[in-house]
Amino acid sequence: MHELFAEGRTLPEAYHTSLTELCRQHSVAACPDYNTRQKEASMTFVVSEPLAEPMISRLFIGDPRSLEQYRQEMLDGILDFEVARGNWEYTYHLRMAEGLLWAEEELRRNPDSRRAVISTRHEDDLKSGAPACLQSLQFFIRGGALHLKVMFRSNDAAKAAFMNAFALILLQKRMADALGVSVGLYTHRANSYHVYERDWAMFDGYIARLESGEDVTYPYVDGWDEFMEEAKPEIAEMVRKLRDER
């Protein structure tokens, strides 16, 4: 199993490099749980300036509305009620909420702490057919900046990794703002960084666009953030309708 590393100043730069490295070095492995195959490697990608523009990758299958909804799901728990109803097994927000409060207090107590670790793994995952992919987050304050290191047991490189990283960087910013420090490095570790066989053609298209030199980014500030803001009423109405369902 290949062990890969990618880095970049911006999120898209690091993410795009991770895709190129995965294309260049991977194993084709069986994935019997989903009756398919996957191109797979272990990947660590590092973003040195997580809030630097451009923040949005065009190699992202969603739109501003879907990205805003995912941001609200992870940071604000807008669909946590689906767990209580038995429709979902978990949300990342529910798995992280208590730990985030503890981590913030721990870093206030000791800014040099190495203990600000949040585990999103739960004993229910042992019996689940879809255990949580995100396993842990660890925050460090070093040099007056808050660094975030996350670990995924499994991460869909083509369809999920960018969205995951984007939301987690905004979570990092929220924590940094609460602690009165700047945003430091973002490190994204996936023990299985993969592309399923059904997405191989799409993945090849991503690589072709990267190799062509095409600009495959959008600005977030004064760009996608405005479209995401416009999507908020529609998302709120969707949440209201779901809450009202019996």
* pLDDT, tens only, 207-227: 999 999 999 999 999 999 999
Residue 89 in 3-state DSSP? coil
**pLDDT band at 127, cuts 50/70/90?**
low
Residues composing the chain: 246
Helix (H) or strand (E) holding 205: helix 200-212
What domains lie within the chain, and their CATH numbers?
3-244 (3.30.572.10)
pLDDT at 136: 96
pLDDT at 42: 98
pLDDT digits (tens, 9 = 90+) for 168-205: 999 999 999 999 999 999 999 999 999 999 999 999 99
pLDDT digits (tens, 9 = 90+) for 29-78: 999 988 999 999 999 999 999 999 999 999 988 999 999 999 999 999 99
Q: In the numeric block, which tokens belong to residue 146? A: 């808050």
pLDDT of 126 higher than 80: no
User: Average pLDDT, whole number, for the chain?
Assistant: 95
Asked if 136 and 151 touch (Cβ cutoff 8 Å), the reply is yes
Torsion on CA atoms 45, 68, 91, 4, rounded to nearest 10 = -10
Handedness of CA 128, 132, 135, 138 (dihedral sign): negative
Q: In the numeric block, which tokens belong to residue 20? A: 């190129």
pLDDT of 236 higher than 70: yes
Q: In the numeric block, which tokens belong to residue 177? A: 């703002």
Residue 103 in 3-state DSSP? helix
Amino acid code (one letter) for 231: A
pLDDT at 33: 85
Helices 200-212 and 11-24: crossing angle, nearest 10°?
A: 120
**Cβ of 7: how many Cβ atoms within 10 Å?**
15
Whole-angstrom distance, CA of residue 204 vs CA of residue 157: 12
Share of the chain above pLDDT 70, in %: 97
Whole-angstrom distance, CA of residue 137 vs CA of residue 123: 18
Q: Determine how β-strand 182-196 pairs with β-strand 155-156.
A: parallel
Burial class (CB in 10 A: 0-12, 13-18, 19+), 52: middle
Amino acid code (one letter) for 110: N
Handedness of CA 82, 103, 42, 29 (dihedral sign): negative
More confident residue, 125 or 233: 233
pLDDT at 129: 65
